[in-house]
Amino acid sequence: MIKIVNMKIAKDIVLLQLQDDETKYFEALWEIPEGVTYNSYVIIGDGDVIVIDGWKIGFGDVFVDEVKRVVDLKSIKAVVVHHMEPDHSGSLKTLLSNLSSDTRVFGHQLVKDMLQSFYGIKPNFVPVTDGMKANVAGKTLRFFHTPWLHWPDTIVSILDGKVLFSCDIFGSYGIPSALFFEDLSPSDQEKFIWYAKKYFANIIGKYVSWVLKGLEKLSSIGLDSIEIVAPAHGPLRRNVKTMATLYNRWARGDAEKGKVVVLYMSMYGFIEKAIHILIDELQKAGAKIKIHKFVDKYRSSISDMLGDLIDAESFVIATPTYDADVFPFAMLLLNVIISKIPKNKKVLIVSNFGWGPVAGKKIAEMLKTAGFTIVDVVEFRGGNVEDVLPRLREGAVKLLQST
């Protein structure tokens, strides 16, 4: 059920949070049984008001009703659009239709055309440049361009040097039971670090070089004065440095020692039989194994799989050959892995075939071209797992030796 949180987070800032547990696939792609929130903020200045971002498309009327519960719409003099993805910009059209036409809309210059193409609107748009300051409602907002975190239009802003509106950056999936991360129980904090990692891998993972550049920019601005990090998803944070450190690690693909992700597809159990043998070997050698399987009675979550791969030392991909080609589901997994996962991982490929070995070689070529290191390709015919027992044992050793 959709829920709304409307609460002060500081003397002059109200959080308007839509808690969405109805979306099962974020971006119609990523599995999120934990739900997601869309966070907007209302800054109440000297009689005038600034609105920061909004809610997902489809919730425009509910959003405007909630804004009205906090301020008189006539007092809104500015709206800041940090990023145009419709999970944040989707309520803008309805909001702006209720405001004076001179309300200033701040955003990256790319936002102007997107406002028109997404929603057919041409507001009183003010393009912001990197480092630009704007004085609105007796407050100072300073804008910084953080391209590709998550789109090229993404900006962050800092209010009076103390509150960082970070949009997707430092955001997470999940519906928190407290406004601030630091007020969650230790077990919930652990969960929300996982949700943030999974969100990072799914949404921002493709742009890790930009993440490192963005973090460098934020640290050169100086984060010491920041008292509140106000992202557009998930809990707010008082401590910006913890997340900045985690983002650095995830963007570099820093590995948890001995972590091996095993992902496999098995149509009739032959691959699964080989994988059980391999897992046994890896366990005996002390590997920390995470398994994601895609079989006839069960499918792992692709979004969880990516979250696990980010900090793995290595991974195994095991799949049948299908129609004399790579198994179609493996193509989907390979596409997202190549797009979203840092390439400093070693890979063991296991594959079987009925009449011709194809998948193993093709997968090896794809992953090698992308920059991963292939330690071995183990292929067997049909269910003849016994034929490759020594190769599987050898593969496990190579995988762990190479890490």
Residues that bind ligand FEO (CB under 6 A): 83, 85, 87-88, 150, 168, 232-233
In the complex with ligand FEO, which residue's Cβ is closer, 203 or 275? 203
Structure tokens at 225: 């004065």
C-alpha distances out from residue 398 to 7, 44, 147, Å? 54, 60, 39
The nearest distance, CB 389 to ligand FEO, in angstroms, is 47
Nearest to 194 by CA among 311, 326, 23: 311
The nearest distance, CB 287 to ligand FEO, in angstroms, is 34
In the complex with ligand FEO, which residue's Cβ is closer, 85 or 281? 85
In the complex with ligand FEO, which residue's Cβ is closer, 145 or 233? 233
In the complex with ligand FEO, which residue's Cβ is closer, 167 or 274? 167
In the complex with ligand FEO, which residue's Cβ is closer, 232 or 240? 232
The nearest distance, CB 56 to ligand FEO, in angstroms, is 9
The nearest distance, CB 248 to ligand FEO, in angstroms, is 20
Nearest residue to ligand FEO, scored by beta-carbon proximity: 85
In the complex with ligand FEO, which residue's Cβ is closer, 201 or 334? 201
The nearest distance, CB 251 to ligand FEO, in angstroms, is 17
The nearest distance, CB 115 to ligand FEO, in angstroms, is 15
